Amino acid sequence: MPQSLPFRSRLATTAGQMAAAASRKLGRGRGQVVGGRIMLRLDPALLHRLAAPMRVTVVSATNGKSTTTRLIAQALRSIGSVAHNATGANMGAGLVTALADNPAARFAALEVDEAHLPDVVRQTGADQLVLLNLTRDQLDRGSEVRLLAERWRQLAADLGPETQVVANADDPVVAWAAQAAPNTLWVGCGQRWTADSALCPACGAPLARAGGRWVCPSCGMARPETSWSVLPDADQIATPDGSVRLRLALPGRFNAGNAAIALAAVCSRGVPKEAALQAFAQVSDVDGRYVQTLAGDHKVRLLLGKNPASWAEMMFLVADSDALLVTVLNARGADGRDPSWIWDVDFEDWAGRPVWVAGERRFDMAVRLETAGLEVIGVSQDPLAALDQAQPNQSLDIVANYTAFQQLRAELVPS
C-alpha cells in the first residue's frame, strides 16, 4: 500500500482486505463486495484516492462489459500493470477492492454498472470511457433505457477534451449520448438486437435502418462515421490504417464487436495492434462465460443469457449446435424479479428444437417455449438433471440467467 496515502486510507484498505479474506475462508463468497463496503465506510474518498495516480478506463453497457473489460485489461498488461475488477463486481465496493488489490498499477480497467457510471467517472477521474450498448435489463429495479441514456449524455457533455469516449456507433442510444462528448472515437461494433432503439433518442421518430446503418428521417440524426469496425465476415477489424485479423477464442460475432471496441481503446492507450490481438487470443472465457467443462462423459458449455438482447445473441450462437439445449431461469434480486421479458425474445426461431427447462421459474419458461413451438422434453429445478436425458457423450449447451449461471459455474468449474 503506497505510503503516500493518508493513514485513514491505509487503515480502511487493511480492514477491508481482512474482511474479504475472512469471507472467502468462511465460504461466504469472494469477499470483494463486503471488503469494499468496509473500505468505503472507513474512508468514503478511497476510490478517488486509489485511482488518482492511475490512467483509468471505465467500460459500461447492458451487455458485453465484462468481456470487453477483460480484453482491455489483457492487452494493457503488455505495456504496464493493471488493476481490474475481473469478477464483475462493478459498483463502488467492487471497484475500490479492485484498485486496493493492485494500488501501484499504472492502469485501471473497470467494468461499471450503467446506472453508476456518472458517479464512478467523477470519483475516479477516468480519462477513457468505453460505451457499448444500452438495452432493457432488470426494469423492476433499474431505469428505462432512455433515462439511462440521458444520464450518460449529461455525463458526456460535462467531460473535458482530455477524456476520450470510445463508443459503439451502431447503437443509436449510445451514439446520442456520446455525441455530447468533445472527444469521441466511433467504432462499428454491430447491433443484432434493435427493439430497444427503434425510435430516435433525439426526437422520438421511428428510425430507418438499411445496410447496417441507421438514420432518423425526421431530425436527421444518423449513425456516425467510424474509424474502427468489425468487417462483415466477423474475423477482421477495419482500423484507420488497414484491416487486421482477429484470432479470438471467444465465440460469436458479438464478441468480435467487443474486440473491435477494445482494440480501439487500447491502441489509443499506446498498445501496438499486434500485441493487443495476441492478448485477445489468450482469453477463452470470462469469469465462466463460454467455458467448456465435463460433467461425467458430457461436455458442457456455459452461456449467460440475462435479458432479451443477450438471449438474442445466445440463440444465434447455438443455432447450429447439435448439443442438447438447456435453459435455466431464476428471478432473484440480481436477475430482476420480473421474468416477463422472456416474451420479448424471439424463441420462435428455435421452433421444433428439443429443450430441457430448469430453474426456479422453469414453468414460466416452459410455457413460453411451448408457445414458441419448441419441444420441451423435460422440466426440473436442477439443470443437471438434463444429463440423464442426454445421449451418451452428447454435449450440452446450458443458457442460464445471472444467478443460475453463477450457481452452475461454482458447481461445474474448478476454482
Expressed as residue numbers, the domain containing 38 is 1-44
Joined together, the cell numbers standing for residue 292 give 467448456
pLDDT on residue 138 = 76
CB 37 within 8 A of CB 29: no
For residues 149 and 214, membership in a common domain is answered with yes
Say if 246 falls within a structural domain.
Answer: yes
For residues 108 and 212, membership in a common domain is answered with yes
Say if 57 falls within a structural domain.
Answer: yes
For residues 17 and 53, membership in a common domain is answered with no
In the sheet that holds 228-230, the strands lie side by side as 82-84, 107-111, 55-60, 128-131, 164-168, 184-188, 228-230, 236-239, 242-245
Residue 1 pLDDT > 70, yes or no? no
**What percent of the chain clears pLDDT 70, i.e. is strictly above it?**
98
Q: Considering its fold, how many domains does the chain have in total?
A: 3
User: End of a domain among 281, 303, 334?
Assistant: 281
279-306 average pLDDT score? 93
For residues 366 and 310, membership in a common domain is answered with yes
pLDDT on residue 320 = 86
User: What CATH number is associated with residue 180?
Assistant: 3.40.1190.10
Give me the half-sphere count of Cα atoms (radius 13 Å) on the Cβ side of residue 263. 34
394-410 average pLDDT score? 94
Residue 140 pLDDT > 80, yes or no? no
229-244 average pLDDT score? 94
Residue 264 pLDDT > 80, yes or no? yes
pLDDT on residue 209 = 96
For residues 7 and 68, membership in a common domain is answered with no
Pairing relation of β-strands 292-295 and 298-304?
antiparallel
For residues 149 and 36, membership in a common domain is answered with no
For residues 204 and 232, membership in a common domain is answered with yes
pLDDT on residue 2 = 66
For residues 30 and 105, membership in a common domain is answered with no
208-216 average pLDDT score? 95
Residue 259 pLDDT > 70, yes or no? yes
64-76 average pLDDT score? 98
pLDDT tens digits, one per residue of 340-349? 999 999 999 9
Distance CA 350, CA 375 (A): 10
Residue 299 burial class via C-beta count within 10 angstroms: exposed 0-12, middle 13-18, buried 19 and up: middle
Say if 287 falls within a structural domain.
Answer: no
Say if 190 falls within a structural domain.
Answer: yes
CB 267 within 8 A of CB 363: no
314-319 average pLDDT score? 92
The length of the chain, given as a count of residues = 415
Say if 286 falls within a structural domain.
Answer: no
178-201 average pLDDT score? 96
User: What CATH number is associated with residue 320?
Assistant: 3.90.190.20
Joined together, the cell numbers standing for residue 10 give 491505509
Residue 24 pLDDT > 90, yes or no? no
79-100 average pLDDT score? 95
For residues 99 and 217, membership in a common domain is answered with yes
CB 293 within 8 A of CB 300: yes
pLDDT on residue 3 = 62
Distance CA 111, CA 78 (A): 19
Say if 36 falls within a structural domain.
Answer: yes
Structure confidence at residue 274 as a pLDDT band (50, 70, 90): very high
290-319 average pLDDT score? 93
Q: Which residue has the higher pLDDT, 32 or 293?
A: 293
227-238 average pLDDT score? 93
pLDDT on residue 26 = 84
Residue 44 pLDDT > 90, yes or no? yes
pLDDT tens digits, one per residue of 331-373? 999 899 999 999 999 999 999 999 999 999 999 999 999 999 9
What is the number of other CB atoms lying within 10 angstroms of the CB of residue 173? 25
**Element containing residue 68 per DSSP (H, E):** helix 65-76
pLDDT on residue 32 = 84
Residue type, 157: A
In the sheet that holds 324-328, the strands lie side by side as 292-295, 298-304, 396-400, 324-328, 354-358, 375-380
DSSP label of 207: P
Buried b (16+ CB within 10 A) or exposed e, 13-41: bebbbebbeebeeeeeebbbbbbbbbbbe
297-318 average pLDDT score? 94
Distance CA 267, CA 244 (A): 13
Say if 38 falls within a structural domain.
Answer: yes
Say if 19 falls within a structural domain.
Answer: yes
User: End of a domain among 281, 316, 348?
Assistant: 281
CB 328 within 8 A of CB 355: no
Q: Which of these ranges, 297-301, 369-373, 374-378, 388-392, has the smallest mean pLDDT?
A: 388-392
Distance (Å) of CA 26 to CA 22, 39, 96, 288, 290: 6, 20, 22, 22, 28
For residues 137 and 242, membership in a common domain is answered with yes
Interior CA angle at 60 toward 40 and 193, to 5°? 145
For residues 82 and 196, membership in a common domain is answered with yes
pLDDT on residue 373 = 96
74-81 average pLDDT score? 98
CB 312 within 8 A of CB 193: yes
pLDDT on residue 232 = 87
Report the phi/psi class of residue 114: left, alpha or beta, with left for phi > 0 and alpha for psi in -120 to 50: alpha
For residues 277 and 203, membership in a common domain is answered with yes
pLDDT on residue 296 = 87
pLDDT on residue 108 = 98
Quick one: which of 188, 302, 174, 173 has its CA closest to 234?
188
User: End of a domain among 226, 261, 281?
Assistant: 281
